[in-house]
Structure 1
């Protein structure tokens, strides 16, 4: 009887360990804190866990696994299985998707931002470049057009932008530089301190980031209609980890992306509805840029910067014109279908 019990206990333990070994657990590297910008990642984790009956789970970390500018490097070496990053943090590592950060692309809303991102992410040039980092595009993190939160006297003309120290990355930084501003690319987590200490006069963010990183608390004014562009921040997965999933796990992951993004869009929409109230509560003045000033900004910053990007990327072997045209064609197709 003793031997029988021993064998039974061993068998039970063996089955328990086998069951535990079969479960899949991914680590996900984000930064800052939970906010509208990361809600789709949380929704995705929730859906995947539900669809796999708890056999595939995700541990979401805010800065505990990596710095935000090092997330792509972490993915490349398999330090974690999933991560979010922004193209402007290291444009040399993700050249193809920087087309989505060019200023004044004409994207009107978050749904269009999802459409153009999905189209560009599916391009072979993006797939190939990301594979160099052992990364596979999973989904975008759509953001509205950026606007400035500033200190001091409101600036509503391009002449007043001359010499303005602004936190802006990627194509946005180039756009502001084109009108005489001085861009700096401190990370989003460092933006508040840079603003508070006077290192920058203004910060270009989407609404959720002005809230999450506290820059709106330091600001005295906010441009409601500058809309020079936005940054592009994909969520990627480690290719080896992705290929190591079972068919059911992969189906659960891929099949949850659309629902996770729908949830993100609905959640962000609620934030945008509250934005004017938030500005009033914080005593932040809304600044409207005139149509003439906006037209001048586009003239100086849109076509010249796009042309320079196309020339530079083409010289590096990228199908730059093709990627740029893809954005325009996708916008036309999306609007026609609506």
Structure 2
């Protein structure tokens, strides 16, 4: 059974569950009586982010073309209705029928969310996390929890995580106390190596960096740094990456149920297909973006010192063990990670 079909089966079983307030018709769509639907999609990406256009924008275009204009998505930039972790709540309540978010925002709602977000210091290549999410069941484990609240999540892409900083890092002493914008398990990861990570919404990130509120950040890797203009204020791009992570689409299941079968299938199939296409495209564009940053922005690629990397390695094991203790589904997710990492010779 595919991930999309298993989620649809769960959706059908949960039809009619109480979800709290649902969206008003004006927010959900227009022209439904004529067989046309428009969904507003609250994104966690600011409009300046490349993924607002290259992920959500492309999804909207492909879906509209596939349905001959009958199904349209109206993307909303971060903060138009909500931003950061608040996005999940407005989606669950039906204020909008669809959203994009980071799985790090839903760690309190789904035991295995951190494993879909990506445990830092584990997988080293994009395809490895793709395989774990879509083929080995990580996404399904998250949806076992979210479906109970009337929400379905589908991973949008896998992307690398790399830091940019405003100060050169040559030792653990240089790293210690650095204020790094982060989220999810990455916060614990960076803190274990002595940094002082904190969460800042994407819409406020550039200002936080330029004013010195934070000394660095991760927003994806090179593509994110370029599209968000982070290299204007952070001239040092750090290698190796902190790990692989994901962005995700999330859908209110009552609104999904309200679609006819063709519309529903078009949406889910398009999201599923775009996941693999976008993940591969992203790797190519990462190389282009980094070369551009060196040539056009004068950035310097630096390697994190060995003493910092040693602390990060130990933190990865601790984070995995801690996340696995959240419950049965989290333990299953940890087993998926460990088995794959054993197969790859990482442990």
With normalisation by structure 1, the TM-score equals 0.82
CA contact under 8 A between 1:36 and 1:264: conserved in structure 2? no
CA contact under 8 A between 2:237 and 2:302: conserved in structure 1? yes
1:68 to 74, 80, 84: 84
For 2:246, what is the secondary structure of its paired residue? Answer: coil
Alignment of 1:126-145 (within 5 A): 126-144=142-160
CA contact under 8 A between 2:193 and 2:308: conserved in structure 1? no
Q: Which residue of 2 aligns with 1:261?
A: 275
CA contact under 8 A between 1:103 and 1:172: conserved in structure 2? yes
Count the aligned residue pairs.
Answer: 309
Could you list the runs of 5+ residues in structure 1 that have no partner in the other structure?
A: 1-16
1:252-300 Cα shifts (integer Å, max 9, x gaps): 122223432344235423421221232231111110235x446513432
Q: Which residue of 2 aligns with 1:322?
A: 332
1:219 to 212, 231, 234: 234
Say if 2:253 is the partner of 1:243: no
Report the CA distance between 1:132 and its aligned residue. Answer: 3.6
Say if 2:76 is the partner of 1:28: no
Alignment of 1:72-221 (within 5 A): 72-100=88-116, 101-109=118-126, 111-118=127-134, 119-123=136-140, 125-144=141-160, 146-152=161-167, 154-206=168-220, 207-221=222-236
Report the CA distance between 1:120 and its aligned residue. Answer: 4.2
Comparing 197-206 with 125-134, greater Cα deviation is found at: 125-134
Q: Which residue of 2 aligns with 1:54?
A: 69
Say if 2:301 is the partner of 1:286: yes
2-side partners of 1:94 and 1:208: how far apart? 28
2-side partners of 1:169 and 1:252: how far apart? 32
Could you list the runs of 5+ residues in structure 2 that have no partner in the other structure?
A: 1-29
CA contact under 8 A between 1:83 and 1:235: conserved in structure 2? yes
For 2:159, what is the secondary structure of its paired residue? Answer: coil
For 2:180, what is the secondary structure of its paired residue? Answer: strand
Which structure is larger by alpha-carbon Rg, 1 or 2? 1
2-side partners of 1:19 and 1:205: how far apart? 37
With normalisation by structure 2, the TM-score equals 0.80
C-alpha distance 295-196 of structure 1, shift in aligned 2 (>3 A) = closer
2-side partners of 1:332 and 1:45: how far apart? 39
CA contact under 8 A between 2:35 and 2:70: conserved in structure 1? yes
2-side partners of 1:82 and 1:280: how far apart? 38
For 2:187, what is the secondary structure of its paired residue? Answer: helix
C-alpha distance 323-23 of structure 1, shift in aligned 2 (>3 A) = same
Alignment RMSD: 2.6
Report the CA distance between 1:174 and its aligned residue. Answer: 0.5
CA contact under 8 A between 1:167 and 1:204: conserved in structure 2? yes
